[in-house]
Amino acid sequence: MEKLIDGKLISKALIEEISRETKEFVAKGGKKPHLAAILVGNDGASETYVNSKIKMCLEVGFDSSVIRCTSTITEEQLLKKIEKLNTNPDIDGFIVQLPLPRHVSELKVIEAINPQKDVDGFHPANIGRMALNLPSYLPATPFGIYQMLEKSGIETEGKNCVVIGRSHIVGSPISILLARNSNPGNCTVTLCHSKTQNLKEICSRADILIAALGKPEFITKEYIKKGAIVIDVGIHRVQDSSSPKGYLIKGDVKFDEVEPLVSKISPVPGGVGPMTIVALLKNTLLAAQKKVYAY
């Protein structure tokens, strides 16, 4: 059995699936999905993320728009732009790229988004629906991990799953998803965080370990149960003068040391990362098909 969980390969197959489904939906008279992104300021990383999201929209046959605002935009002006997208019938889903300038409340912005168009799955209504096992837009990274487990044929029922990190966009939602009565799901989940005691001991009992703590190569062999499945959500640039770019991309897991012990592991890069964009595309297609809020 293949040990490496190849996120690149799985995401490629899913992108083709979304492409095909979009074509069929449009051929039957359905609306061509349209994703909009609000980009505030000129943060380099945010520009890159939004550009790649838009590029992928084109690739699967969606329409896309970017609404650019200067970093001096007021909260009120930004909320008005959100309201415009909320009421524009041509826009099926939209995202507000984070982070936002300090003078703008992230919570106010997220709460202003119509949950039916919240393809990032950040609105409290979508998080609540997720917790209740109702149809919802799942946030990108947890959705990506979920699909990775599913497509790799990993049995999760009854397994001990340990999640490290309780962020609102990764640790907390993936712990909810995997504890739900669903497949993947039905795990016994332990959510660990910065105040957890005996982290090593807890992790070394995990059948499935999800590392989303944000510390480069923190998870070493002492944290691993033999035969465990390890999902690495970290992504870090680690200085390395011998590599061409002067840095290497590393995850939260010390891959070379951990890999010999596990039954499956997702690498960094090429693991969870490529899966996240698929989630956004899938959510946008679901929005156009009106499949999530189907009432």
The angle, 0 to 180 degrees and rounded to 10, between the axes of the packed helices 7-27 and 44-60 is 50
**Which position among 53, 117, 225, 250 bears the catalytic label?**
53
Query: Which residue lies nearer to ligand GUN by CB, 66 or 98?
Result: 98
Query: Which residue lies nearer to ligand GUN by CB, 162 or 231?
Result: 231
- Kindly list the distances between the CA atom of residue 199 and the CA atoms of 8, 174, 247, in Å, as whole numbers in the listed order: 30, 18, 29
Annotation marks residue 250 as catalytic: no
Residue 38 φ then ψ, to 5°: -95, 125
- Give min distance, CB of 55 to ligand GUN, in A: 16
- Kindly list the distances between the CA atom of residue 220 and the CA atoms of 40, 194, 198, 226, in Å, as whole numbers in the listed order: 38, 17, 15, 13
- Residues 97-126 within binding reach of ligand GUN (CB under 6 A): 97-98, 120
**Which position among 81, 92, 118, 120 bears the catalytic label?**
120
Among 14, 82, 96, 285, binds ligand GUN (CB under 6 A): 96
- Give min distance, CB of 171 to ligand GUN, in A: 14
Closest Cα to residue 185, out of 211, 151, 149?
149
- Give min distance, CB of 45 to ligand GUN, in A: 8
Residue nearest to ligand GUN (CB): 98
Going by DSSP bridges, is the β-strand pair 160-164/188-192 parallel, antiparallel, or unpaired? parallel
Query: Which residue lies nearer to ligand GUN by CB, 30 or 41?
Result: 41
Query: Which residue lies nearer to ligand GUN by CB, 15 or 169?
Result: 169
| CB 144, CB 278: distance < 8 Å | yes
- Give min distance, CB of 204 to ligand GUN, in A: 31
Annotation marks residue 289 as catalytic: no
- Give min distance, CB of 205 to ligand GUN, in A: 31
User: Which tokens belong to 85?
Assistant: 């997208």
Q: Which residues of 16-30 are buried (b: 16+ CB within 10 A; e: fewer)?
A: eebbebbeebeeeee
| Residue 95 contacts ligand GUN per CB under 6 A | yes
- Residues 133-192 within binding reach of ligand GUN (CB under 6 A): 140
With CB under 6 A as the rule, give the number of residues binding ligand GUN: 6
| C-alpha–C-alpha distance, residues 75 and 73, integer Å | 7
Annotation marks residue 120 as catalytic: yes
Query: Which residue lies nearer to ligand GUN by CB, 96 or 224?
Result: 96
**Which position among 97, 147, 252, 282 bears the catalytic label?**
97
Q: Tokens 């993947």 appear where?
A: 184
Interaction site with ligand GUN (CB under 6 A):
95-98, 120, 140
Which residues are the active-site residues?
Answer: 53, 97, 120
